[in-house]
Amino acid sequence: MRLARLSPLPLVLPLLCVVAGVASTASKLIIVTGANSGIGKECCRHLAALGGYRVMMACRNVTAGHEAANDILRQHPDACVECHPLDLASFSSVRSFAKSAVGGRAVSAVIHNAGVMAVPYRTTVDGHELTFQVNHLAQFFLTELLLPNLRRAYRDTGELSRVVIVASGAHRWASTNNQGAAGGLARGAGAAQHEVGAGGISYATEMSRGWGKWQAYAGSKLCNVLYAAELTRRYGGEDSGVVGVAVRPGTVRTAIARHSPLLRFIFTLVQPFLTSVEKAGEVVSNAAVDPYVAAGAYYDKDVRTPASAAGQDMELQAALWAVTMNILVSGGDLQRAVDLG
Ligand SMILES: NC(=O)c1ccc[n+]([C@@H]2O[C@H](COP(=O)([O-])OP(=O)(O)OC[C@H]3O[C@@H](n4cnc5c(N)ncnc54)[C@H](OP(=O)(O)O)[C@@H]3O)[C@@H](O)[C@H]2O)c1
Ligand SMILES: *[C@@H]1O[C@H](CO)[C@@H](O)[C@H](O)[C@H]1NC(C)=O
């Protein structure tokens, strides 16, 4: 189900955006990461078409971001679209995005769409394996930084704020260790220092410890599913009003396959059977605005679907939260106090 288009709004919005530069109840702020291409861009286009939203495109390449914003504005001249730099491979970039681009504004939804797939092994400036940081760690960090903004939107409107996480069916391929109820992610000793609890979580983040590019992707997408559920448990109450949802956008031919010639070839062969990028963008944006979306759930496109057994494992959900918090706190990026309430 979609929100009805609020027809008089597009006429008023540009004025609100340009002149006042403030969020009104008529223009809820929605942040979309990785918005310059693929599913993220189409998601922004769909929000622009719906009207009533101020769309903040967060892009690591702002030149490409502005091009995408202009493309959307050509089609929807009355839409409210802005573009800001965000590189998830750098925590300092995440911090300045939260501070400079968002500031104190109320945020109705954050759509964590940016992601990488099957990239070669690399560590970020923050010392983490790239896929793990971009696809999970940095989005967790960003949500924590934006928590006051998300809470404020809930207080202002009484509507739950959404954290949409673009997951994948690939979460089902994440290897689990079958040891104890909590299992494990991409079992390897790389993250052993982050291991918590009996049968906790361990994610191979070092080349020497059995890291593989596809397992890294699958593992990160399992993180997405686990995180959406745990975030809802922690912040979904009335004191915060912030809920998560994980959504599989479908299989879409986008630039995501750039690091895999084989996958690009397969995509070309089977393209007629794939989900269109427009449909995927619509699915993802609906996860942020459709009032009937179930908090903490996993959606396969429009359909609420059980995640993998590991994805539904509450012990693993809690373990991932603790692991992630430990990484960010021990790295000095987050104070544990942020975790309270
Ligand atoms: N396509 C599929 O079949 C499929 C299936 C399931 C799930 N997904 C998920 O859908 C999401 C979007 O993927 P897509 O298919 O639309 O691929 P895409 O066209 O490659 O888009 C990915 C976006 O993420 C951005 N990004 C990559 N690294 C970043 C970083 N360090 N900081 C900030 N942004 C970064 C990219 O920016 P640049 O343009 O600068 O690289 C791009 O805007 C991903 O999370 C992916 O896992 C896709
Ligand atoms: C950023 O995007 C622009 C426009 O699409 C492109 O020409 C440029 O090469 C990109 N820069 C990087 C570093 O990818």
How confident is the model over 55-70, as pLDDT tens digits? 999 999 999 999 999 9
Retrieve residue 291's tokens: 């009032």
**Residue 211: pLDDT band with limits 50, 70, 90:** confident
- pLDDT for 5 beyond 70: no
Query: Percentage of residues in the chain with pLDDT exceeding 70?
Result: 80
Mean pLDDT across 286-294:
96
Ligand 2: residues with CB < 6 A are: 61, 63-64, 67
Residue 114 Cβ inside 6 Å of ligand 1? The answer reads: yes
Q: Is 217 tagged catalytic?
A: yes
This model's pTM is above 0.85:
yes
Instruction: Please list the residues that pair with 243 across neighbouring strands.
Output: 162
Closest residue to atom 11 of ligand 2, CA basis: 61
Domain ranges of the chain: 9-167+213-304
Mean pLDDT across 248-260:
90
Q: Kindly report which listed range (98-102, 156-160, 323-327) carries the lowest average pLDDT score.
A: 323-327
Q: How far is the CA of 34 from the centre of ligand 1 (A)?
A: 6
Name the architecture of domain 9-167+213-304. Answer: 3-Layer(aba) Sandwich (3.40)
Q: How far is the CA of 61 from the centre of ligand 2 (A)?
A: 6
Q: In whole angstroms, what is the distance from residue 86 CA to residue 68 CA?
A: 15
- pLDDT for 18 beyond 70: no
- pLDDT for 183 beyond 50: no
Please state whether beta strands 298-300 and 303-304 pair in parallel, antiparallel, or not at all (unpaired).
antiparallel
Q: How far is the CA of 66 from the centre of ligand 2 (A)?
A: 11
Mean pLDDT across 7-11:
38
Ligand nearest to the CA of 37: 1
Residue 65 Cβ inside 6 Å of ligand 1? The answer reads: no
Residue 131 Cβ inside 6 Å of ligand 1? The answer reads: no
Query: Percentage of residues in the chain with pLDDT exceeding 90?
Result: 64
Mean pLDDT across 154-164:
97
Closest residue to atom 5 of ligand 2, CA basis: 64
Pocket test for ligand 2, best of 61, 67, 87 (most atoms within 8 A of CB): 61
Q: Which of 53, 203, 217, 299 is catalytic?
A: 217
Closest residue to atom 14 of ligand 2, CA basis: 61
What is the pLDDT at residue 322?
87
What is the pLDDT at residue 315?
86
Q: How far is the CA of 195 from the centre of ligand 2 (A)?
A: 39
Q: Where does residue 153 fall: left (phi above 0), alpha (psi -120 to 50 degrees), or beta otherwise?
A: alpha
Q: How far is the CA of 277 from the centre of ligand 2 (A)?
A: 21
What is the pLDDT at residue 72?
98
Q: Kindly report which listed range (7-16, 227-236, 297-306) carries the lowest average pLDDT score.
A: 7-16
Q: Kindly report which listed range (3-7, 241-245, 301-305) carries the lowest average pLDDT score.
A: 3-7
- What are the tens digits of pLDDT across the range 68-81? 999 999 999 999 99
- What are the tens digits of pLDDT across the range 40-51? 999 999 999 999
Mean pLDDT across 165-176:
90
| ∠ CA 259-116-202, rounded to 5° | 110
Residue-wise over 248-271: b if at least 16 C-beta within 10 A, else e?
bbbbbbbebbeebeebeeebeeee
Q: Return the amino acid letter for 309.
A: A
Mean pLDDT across 321-331:
89
Residue 39 Cβ inside 6 Å of ligand 1? The answer reads: yes
